[in-house]
Chain A
Amino acid sequence: MRHLLSIDDLGRDGIEEVCALATSFLEVTSREIPKVPALRGKTVATVFYEDSTRTRLSFETAAKRLSADTMSFSVSASSVKKGESLRDTVQTIEAMGVDAMVVRHGAAGAPHRVAEWVDAAVVNAGDGRHEHPTQALLDVFTLLKHRGSGFDGARVAIVGDVRRSRVARSTAKAMATLGADVTLVGPPTMLPESLECWPGDATSDLDDVLTKADVVYLLRIQHERVDGTRFPSLREYTTRYGLTVERAARLGPEVLIMHPGPMNRGVEIAPEVAEGPASVITEQVANGVAIRMAVLYSILGSGGPVA
Chain B
Amino acid sequence: MLRGGRVIDASGERMADVRVADGRVVEVGAALTGDRVLDAEGCIVAPGLVDLHVHLREPGGEDAETIETGARAAALGGFTAVVAMPNTEPPQDDPAVVAAVLAAGAASVCDVHAAGAITRGRAGEELAPMGELHALGVRIFTDDGACVASAGVMRSALEYAGSLPGAVLGQHAEDPTLATGHMHEGEWSSRLGIPGRPAIAEETIIARDCALVELTGTPVHFLHVSTAGSVEIVRAARARGLPVTAEVAPHHFTLTDACCASFDPRYKVHPPLRTEADIAAIKAGLADGTIDAIASDHAPHPTESKERPFEDAPPGMLGLETALALTLTELVEPGVLSLTDALARLSWGPAAIAGLAEHGRTIEAGASANLCVIDPRLEWQVEAERLASRARNTPYEGRRLTGKARHTICRGEAVVIDGEAQR
Residues of A within 8 A of B (CB): 80, 83, 85-88, 105-110, 112-113, 117, 127-131, 163, 166, 169, 192-198
Asked, given contacts A112-B263, A197-B187, whether A169 binds B193 with beta carbons under 8 Å apart, the answer is yes
- With A and B bound together, what is the CA distance between A166 and B264 in angstroms? 19
The residues of B that contact A192 with a CB separation of less than 8 Å are 190
Report chain A residues within 8 Å CB of B196: 193
From B185, B191, B194, B198, contact of A128 by CB (8 A): B194
Q: Which of B155-163, B307-315, B392-400 contacts A (4 or more CB under 8 A)?
A: B307-315
B186 touches A108 (CB 8 A): no
Residue of B185, B263, B305, B312 near A80 (CB, 8 A) is: B312
Cβ proximity bits B285-320 to A, threshold 8 Å, 1 near / 0 not: 000000000000000000011011111100000000
**Which single residue of chain A is at the shortest CB-CB distance from B306?**
A85
A100–B185 CA distance with the chains assembled, in angstroms: 33
Flag if B192 contacts A85 (CB, 8 Å). no
- Cβ of B195 under 8 Å from chain A: yes
Residue in chain B with minimal CB distance to A191: B190
B389 interfacial by beta-carbon distance below 8 Å: no
Establish whether residues A131 and B190, one from each chain, have CB atoms under 8 Å apart when the complex forms: no
Residue of A108, A193, A194 with most partner-chain B CB within 10 A: A108
On whether A194 and B190 interact (CB within 8 A), knowing A85-B304, A108-B263, A113-B263, the answer reads: yes
With A80-B312, A85-B307, A86-B307 as contacts: A108 and B190 at CB distance below 8 Å: no
A-B contact pairs, 10 of them (CB 8 A): A85-B307, A87-B304, A108-B194, A108-B263, A110-B263, A110-B309, A129-B195, A192-B190, A193-B198, A197-B190
CB distance from B402 to the nearest CB of A (A): 30
Q: Looking at A109, A113, A166, A169, which has the most chain B CB atoms within 10 Å of its CB?
A: A109
In the assembled complex, B189 has its CB within 8 A of some CB on chain A: yes
Residues of A near B263 (CB, < 8 A) are 108-110, 112-113
Once the chains bind, are A108 and B310 in contact (CB under 8 Å)?
yes
Taking a contact as CB atoms under 8 Å apart, the answer to whether A130 and B194 are in contact is: yes
Q: Which of B193, B264, B308 contacts A130 (CB 8 A)?
A: B193
Q: 1/0 per residue B110-140: CB within 8 Å of A?
A: 0000000000000000000000000000000
CB distance from B400 to the nearest CB of A (A): 24
- A108 lies within 8 A of B309 (CB): yes
Q: Are B309 and A109 in contact (CB under 8 A)?
A: yes
Asked whether A113 lies within 8 Å of B309 as measured between CB atoms, the reply is yes
- Which among B186, B262, B308, B312 is the interface contact of A193 at CB below 8 angstroms? B186
Shortest distance between the CB of B65 and any CB in chain A (Å): 18
A222 to B263, CA, bound (A): 25
Taking A109-B309, A193-B186 as known contacts, 18 extra A-B pairs with beta carbons closer than 8 A to each other, sorted by chain A number, are A86-B312, A88-B307, A109-B263, A113-B307, A117-B307, A127-B193, A129-B193, A131-B193, A163-B190, A166-B193, A193-B189, A194-B186, A194-B187, A194-B189, A196-B187, A197-B187, A197-B188, A198-B190
Nearest CB of B to A142, in Å: 23
Q: Which residues of A contact B309 (CB under 8 A)?
A: 86, 105, 107-110, 113, 127-128
B185-219 residues at the A interface, CB under 8 angstroms: 185-196, 198
Bound CA span A85–B304, Å = 6
- For residue A202, give the distance in angstroms from its CB to the closest CB of chain B: 11
Q: Which residues from chain A contact B189 at a C-beta distance below 8 Å?
A: 193-194
Contacting residues, chain A, for B185 (C-beta < 8 A): 193
